[in-house]
Amino acid sequence: MPQTIFFDRDDTLIHCRDATPDGDLGDPTLVRLLPTVSESIQLLKQSGFTLIVISNQGGVARGKYPTSAVDAVNAEVNRQLEGAINGFYFCPYHPKGTVPEFTREHPTRKPAPGMLRSAAEDFDIDLSQSWVVGDSARDCAAGKAVGARTILTPRPDLYTPEEADTGDADFVASNLLEAARIILGDAGADA
């Protein structure tokens, strides 16, 4: 079974809240990688990890863009990362949406672990040997729910201390390169 790293997308891999203040990014022309992301992803890919993106996309439920726009943004992210991402999973549901077919809570919406479980089935992943990296406590909660190790990469420029609550994260990293070093054991982690 491949060792896998799951990444949140928005404000973990790419600029989101500073590109679209409402946090709903459905325009591939706005995709800009965060600092250290390209280097970190290539380092982890070269180390043999399967890399998967899991992302809540409530903008679909709120009628801001269709699922095809999420696919287009994901394709642009992967293009900028030189095709390093093995799979993209997203949850278009939100309980406060305006599009009836997507307006509800759903088991794939983080902090629920549905996207992780779907990917584990599709890629034959041992979730207990996996990592989840994200900028929000809900990313870490999804990982904890399936026994994965977790790294929080909060963006202090975007979040108040309350919003950047570390929750139950195993590690907190200042950026994706530091997270990659933790995963690879360079920071004393038992990876």
Active site residues: 8, 10
**Three-state secondary structure call for residue 52:** strand
Q: Label residue 161 exposed, middle or buried (CB < 10 Å: 0-12, 13-18, 19+).
A: exposed
Whether the bond between 111 and the residue before it is cis, its omega within 30 degrees of 0, is yes
User: How many C-beta atoms lie closer than 10 Å to residue 167's C-beta?
Assistant: 15
Cβ(90)–Cβ(55) under 8 Å? yes
